[in-house]
Amino acid sequence: MIRQEDPPPEPSVTERADPRFARIEETSITDLARQMNTADATVPTAVASELPRITAAIEAAVARMSRGGRLIYVGAGTSGRLGVLDASECRPTFNVGPEQIFAIIAGGPQAIVDAAEGAEDDAEAGAWEMTDADVGPDDTLVGLASSGRTPFVLGAMRRARELGALTIGVSCNRDSELSALVERPIEVVVGPELVSGSTRLKAGTAQKLVLNMISTITMVKLGKTYHGLMVAVRPTNEKLRARAIRIVCSLTGADEEDAGAMLVDSGYDVATAVLRLRLGLSQDAATDRLRAANGRLDHALEESA
């Protein structure tokens, strides 16, 4: 807590004002859109500078998850909502349950739609969430804080390390408290925002790009894709069912009618349908083969080569 006599903390890079944007209220919509687009274009370069650290973090996460561990995002405000977004999108794309990849946001589920900014100051609540989630040595915790000093996230990461979990920190400031606390720090420094302190802009974009890499590459390495296709997709709507049919056609050479019929008979499990069409297996035999291959279609097909 900051005492009355203490000087205010030095503003982080993401909180500083950029003089280029000092008169945005007087700028035309066209020029503002151009300025935002120019500013946003710097984000991928900032992410690229952190690729070695991102790669090391993903490698460590894959090792843990291959042993049955979970991927858990922890954040507050915009960062927390980005974690919720990325985790929820993994479910239909890679058919992982909510218990395998999920997010914890300061203030609880209501904070997803209603701002609960005060909740981010509670470090003890962050620590308690780790205990409540039964975090252990096989788990990977990704702390998200653009400032790198959000108490809720720091408390969570500190406790996660005590529990033996892998800790990754994603921030947008150099040498942050979060980076010093976690095993695998990632610092995507994107500089001041168009609206000073509004880290839902460049900082938010940077964090989403990093989360895309962490979740997608981890799932690829765990066998959730085959030949770049979403063979673990959960076809819960018409669009995804059509995609599933196209995937089966592409991997087996079957026409759409036969692929669709096999998908229905296989409970719309793409990998099972592919095995049955490629190898002429029954539903039970294909299911057993996939189970023996830990759900990986590539390994299940290799066994027949």
- Catalytic residue IDs: 89, 120
Tokens of 195: 């609206």
How big is the chain by its Cα radius of gyration, in Å?
22
Residues 204, 197: Cα–Cα separation, whole Å: 11
Tokens 């788990």: give the residue.
Answer: 139
Tokens 């979740």: give the residue.
Answer: 215
Please check whether residue 95 is in contact with residue 233, taking contact to mean a CB–CB distance below 8 angstroms. yes
Map 201-265 to HEC letters: CHHHHHHHHHHHHHHHHHHHHCCCCECCECCCCCCCCHHHHHHHHHHHHHHHCCCHHHHHHHHHH
What single-letter DSSP state applies at residue 182?
A: S
What single-letter DSSP state applies at residue 25?
A: G
Tokens of 300: 């299940």
Strands annotated E in 3-161 = 71-75, 101-105, 140-144
Query: Residues of 4-22 as b/e, b for ≥16 C-beta within 10 angstroms?
Result: eeeeeeeebbbbeeeeebe
